[in-house]
Structure 1
Amino acid sequence: MSKVTANDLIERFEWELLAGEEGIYRPITTSDISRPGIEMAGFFTYYPAKRLQLIGRTEWSFFQSLSDQEKKARMTKLCTYDTPGIILSRGLEAPKQLLEAAEKRGVPVLRSQSTTTQLSSRLTNFLESALAPVTAVHGVLVDIYGIGVLITGGSGVGKSETALDLVRRGHRLVADDSVEIRQHNEDTLVGSPPPLLQHLLEIRGLGIINVMTLFGAGAVRLHKRISLCIDLEIWEQGKAYDRLGLEEEKKKIFDTEITKMTVPVRPGRNLAVIIEVAAMNFRLKRLGFNAAQDFSERLSQVIEKGDEDHDRGTN
């Protein structure tokens, strides 16, 4: 899991640091954000101290109604050694009791000019992406007609060459050789290239080529949701391969399952065209049209009609 700190938030959103500089590298371990309204009222029994605390106009206004003694007590409890940061929205003025407690415990106090709702939404989206589980898969990721296709297979099977052919046909490369995959939620996988390998393809015999330099900025993407996995394998004589497409394999990454197809490789097969058609057919299935199922149903009808004709002829 990636590490996020208050310092990252300051650099990302250009927020103002008011106090607690000592703790700006304290790790943020959850994307959940807490608005400590009930804590302002004095109830700390279930205080989620390890979350970022967001103070908006409502919490700030209630805090102003407290006595000086209550203000000090509330801020002392709000600032713990586990708290990764406290954020004030709308450019609100930080109470002196908060600044004193934050300095004592090393809790970063940040201030944003954004509204509370806008700030909460942007921050949650950023943290969910930054803290999402990450894994690396050996393969190639290509955007084909809006479908993120992960191409896997053994070394030397032709993944990169197929990706190059797909780029020449107008599709977009996301990553080659190593694909970093993040699970943004329980049914969404997003792939991206390692920073060192952005826009690069390795073609045996040619070496490293820069796809963006050769084909333009429209030939690459920095990330893409993965919807389909195409596994390339060397053709095995005598092995039964799916010829109708009725059976649907699944590949599980983290807690998410995506559709997987196995495509045998042998001389004479145009893999780029096959994968391109597979992506288009996958889109059709999502729109409710399944050619294999339709063929199966029509075949069943023909067989049933033939049986009925045979029975009538016998009688």
Structure 2
Amino acid sequence: MDMVRTKDLLENFTLTLVAGEDGLHREIITSDISRPGIEMTGFFEYYPKERLQLIGKTEMAYFLSLSDEQRKDRAERLCTDITPGIVISRGMDIPESMIEAANKSGVPILQSPRKTTRVISRLTNYLEAKYAPSTAVHGVLVDVYGVGVLITGQSGVGKSETALELVKRGHRLVADDSVEIRQEDYDSLIGNSPPLIEHLLEIRGLGIINVMTLFGAGSVRNYKKISLIMNLELWDEKKQYDRLGLEEETMKIMDVHVPKLIVPVRPGRNLAVIIEVAAMNFRLKRMGVNAAEEFSDRLTKMIEQEKDGLE
């Protein structure tokens, strides 16, 4: 998980430092952003001082309606020793009492020319991405027809070779060998490659190849949402594999259950084509078309008709 400091906001957004330069090193420990409206009235009992504070037009209008003594009191209580910063939206002028309190306590005041809703939306998205739960799995992530397919399996089963074939067929590589995954929202997993091995593919007997150099910039992606898991395993004669596709198995990664298909590997099977079809079939299911269920319904109707004919 990345550590975010107040100075990172200055580098990534159109913000201007107005006061509290000494506190730019402060760490932002949560993605939650507070709008201190009730605090402006003097009620600080539940003040979330560890959060980034955002003051919009409404909060500023109330602050300016206060007396000089009340302004000084509110500003000093807003600027605590752990408050990472105060963002003022709409490019509003900042009262001198707030600047003095910020400089005294070392709380950075950042001014934004954007509207309040736009500022809080962009800051929240940025912090949510930085503080999203993350993990890493062994596998290959490929974008196949717009579907993020995570190819897993034991070492040597042919994951990288399958990914190479998919890239040759026009699909895009995201990560090979190690896939870093972060959870965004409640049901979204975003995968990317570690910077050290980005755009690289390891093929046994051939070595490491740079996919972007060989196949062009259109053959790679920096990140992709994981929608389907294809687990490759060596063919086991004693194991019963799903032949209809009615069984829906999932794999849990952090808090998200991702659809999972088990593909047995044996000589003569074109895994790249199988994964392509699996991705297209997954898209069809999202659109409400399920070939396995349609076949099952047809079979059920035929059996019922046969029974009626015998009766």
Distance 2:135 2:129 in 1: 14
TM-score (norm 2): 0.96
What is the aligned residue count?
311
Match of 2:30 in 1: 30
**What is the CA distance between 1:57 and its match in structure 2?**
2.1
**What is the CA distance between 1:284 and its match in structure 2?**
0.7
Q: 1:14-38: CA deviations, max 9, x gaps?
A: 4222222232222212222111122
**What is the CA distance between 1:238 and its match in structure 2?**
1.3
Match of 1:196 in 2: 196
Distance 1:114 1:82 in 2: 26
| 1:264 partner SS | strand
Match of 1:5 in 2: 5
**What is the CA distance between 1:310 and its match in structure 2?**
2.8
Percent of aligned positions with the same letter in both sequences?
65
**What is the CA distance between 1:224 and its match in structure 2?**
0.9
The answer to which of 204-213 and 22-31 deviates more is 22-31
Partner AA of 1:93 in structure 2: D
Match of 2:132 in 1: 132
Distance 1:255 1:245 in 2: 25
Identify unmatched segments of 5+ residues in structure 1.
none
| 2:226 partner SS | strand
Q: 1:213-249: CA deviations, max 9, x gaps?
A: 1111111111111110011111112111111100000
**1:245 paired to 2:245:** yes
Identify unmatched segments of 5+ residues in structure 2.
none
Distance 1:273 1:256 in 2: 27
Output the aligned Cα RMSD: 1.3
Distance 2:68 2:24 in 1: 28
Partner AA of 1:252 in structure 2: K
Distance 1:242 1:229 in 2: 16
Match of 1:66 in 2: 66
Q: 1:70-94: CA deviations, max 9, x gaps?
A: 1111011101122111011122222
Partner AA of 1:31 in structure 2: S
| 2:137 partner SS | strand
Distance 1:234 1:8 in 2: 47
TM-score (norm 1): 0.95
Following superposition of structure 1 onto structure 2, how do residues 9-20 of structure 1 map, counting pairs within 5 Å? 9-20=9-20
Match of 1:40 in 2: 40
Distance 1:293 1:123 in 2: 44
